[in-house]
């Protein structure tokens, strides 16, 4: 039993459970918007469980299929599988359990959520394979995480609405933008190993420009949602603050200086997701 918990602890550290901060706030945003106020606590609880299961399954699959690339990359060779801290078997068991957890939580929400849970898994699994054949892998990552707000909307209203898709589109371009920035670190490695990315295809300076365009698109979708959902001034303030933080993020990373990529990736984007969630909740509940 001690060994089991030891391996589980290693896996949780390896998949960086703290990075749930990127997608989870958008799921909560979707739930509050769909409810037009405070969602039922049981619904919100099962949404959180479903998010935990989906992200854990996605990260487990990513670590399994990318193990040989992670072993060759100096930046990632310390991860659990290439470093031999856990065996592939442990990760497969974790993946199956996490997938089952998503399905169970979806069943507790409603019939449509359960029916769509395999689609959500297919999306998040497919992303991990895309770098092998397309430089649009960043968009596929965004698409995978856009399932969070759309899924939360399904959980509350048992429907996929245009508003939920617009919020999902904002997530797509937000994720794509900062994943392009993050992948600038691996431009040379990707080129040598025939992996595809925007920096590998277009070079770092142009990739950063494309990341900026993606983030501008995200802001446009957030503003569109302001009008579509008749949101208030508090939400609008959150959207404008998001635009300012994205501008700050891009000021940190230059074509010839990637030393602050981790600050831009983790700190700024973590603040964006949490602050936008808080502003949305306040707008829907108290404003």
pLDDT digits (tens, 9 = 90+) for 96-138: 999 999 999 999 999 999 999 999 999 999 999 999 999 999 9
> What residue segments make up the domains of the chain, in order of their start?
2-14+21-285
According to the CATH classification, is domain 2-14+21-285 in 3.40.50.150? no
For residue 179, the model assigns a pLDDT of: 94
pLDDT of 93 above 90: yes
- What letter would DSSP give residue 263? I
Nearest to 120 by CA among 149, 97, 91, 92: 149
pLDDT tens for 224-282 read 999 999 999 999 999 999 999 999 999 988 877 787 887 777 788 889 999 999 999 99
d(C-alpha 147, C-alpha 209), whole Å: 26
pLDDT tens for 184-237 read 989 999 999 999 999 999 999 999 999 999 999 999 999 999 999 999 999 999
For residue 64, the model assigns a pLDDT of: 96
First to last CA, the chain: 50
pTM, two decimals, is 0.93
% of the chain with per-residue pLDDT over 70? 98
């Amino acid at each position: 039993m001690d060994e089991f918990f030891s391996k589980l602890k290693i896996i949780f550290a390896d998949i960086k459970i703290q990075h749930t901060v990127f997608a989870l706030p958008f799921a909560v945003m979707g739930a509050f918007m769909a409810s037009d106020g405070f969602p039922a606590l049981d619904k919100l609880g099962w949404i959180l469980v479903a998010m935990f299961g989906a992200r854990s399954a996605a990260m487990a699959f990513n670590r399994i299929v990318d193990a040989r690339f992670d072993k060759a990359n100096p930046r990632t060779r310390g991860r659990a599988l290439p470093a031999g801290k856990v065996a592939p078997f442990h990760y497969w068991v974790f993946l199956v359990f996490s997938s089952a957890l998503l399905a169970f939580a979806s069943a507790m929400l409603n019939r449509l959520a359960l029916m769509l849970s395999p689609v959500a898994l297919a999306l998040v699994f497919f992303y991990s394979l895309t770098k092998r054949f397309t430089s649009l892998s960043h968009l596929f990552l965004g698409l995978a995480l856009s399932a969070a707000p759309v899924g939360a909307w399904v959980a509350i209203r048992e429907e996929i609405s245009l508003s939920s898709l617009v919020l999902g589109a904002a997530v797509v371009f937000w994720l794509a933008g900062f994943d392009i920035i993050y992948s600038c670190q691996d431009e040379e490695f990707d080129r040598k190993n025939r992996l595809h990315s925007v920096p590998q295809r277009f070079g770092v300076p142009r990739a950063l420009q494309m990341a900026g365009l993606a983030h501008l698109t995200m802001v446009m979708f957030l503003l569109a949602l302001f009008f579509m959902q008749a949101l208030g001034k508090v939400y609008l303030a959150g959207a404008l603050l998001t635009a300012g933080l994205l501008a700050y993020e891009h000021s940190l990373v230059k074509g010839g200086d990637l030393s602050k990529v981790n600050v831009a990736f983790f700190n700024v984007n973590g603040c964006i997701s949490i602050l936008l969630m808080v502003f949305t909740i306040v707008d829907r509940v108290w404003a």
